[in-house]
Amino acid sequence: MTAEARAFREHLERPDFQLGTIKQQWRLLRVAWPTADFAIRARDGTEWGFRFLLDGYPAQLPNARLCDIETGAPLAAEYWPKGSGRVAAAFNPNWNAAALYLPCDRMALPGHEQWIVEHPELLWKPASGIVHYLEIIHDLLASFAYFAPVRPAA
């Protein structure tokens, strides 16, 4: 096991990660280093899949994209979470279908250096690691800016 994978596993054993799992905010689906898939629960109970690219962990920012919970395949843009404000901005496949539009994502931060001053609470924190990114996504999906998917009547 690499030092990067070991650091990631250590973060999964921390109480803050375990608490999120116990509270059913998220759950680990699978790890195939350097990727890890998680399901993150929205306020309506919908679980959304996210695949994280973690090479260079925890020093390097990760990259997260939406994925199918069962297979890990990229989630088609029409199935991404919907919302207003911060939710609409973060989950914007028209910006980049391979990343979330967040300061803690390696694909989003370049070119948005103003985020360092404007959103320091959303920057990647190597000491907190994956838990911080999971908390940011969960907060968005638990907010009232998130729109629950419309399901057809039975």
Residue carrying structure tokens 């920012």: 61
Can you tell me the distance from the alpha carbon of 82 to that of 59, in angstroms, rounded to the nearest whole number?
Answer: 31
Residue 40, both tokens: 């993150």
CB-neighbour burial class of residue 73 (10 A; exposed 0-12, middle 13-18, buried 19+) = exposed
Can you tell me the distance from the alpha carbon of 119 to that of 123, in angstroms, rounded to the nearest whole number?
Answer: 7
Q: Helix, strand, coil shares of the chain as percentages rounded to 5?
A: 30, 20, 50
Residue 149, both tokens: 């998917």
CB neighbourhood size of 154 (10 A): 3
Give the active site residues. 104
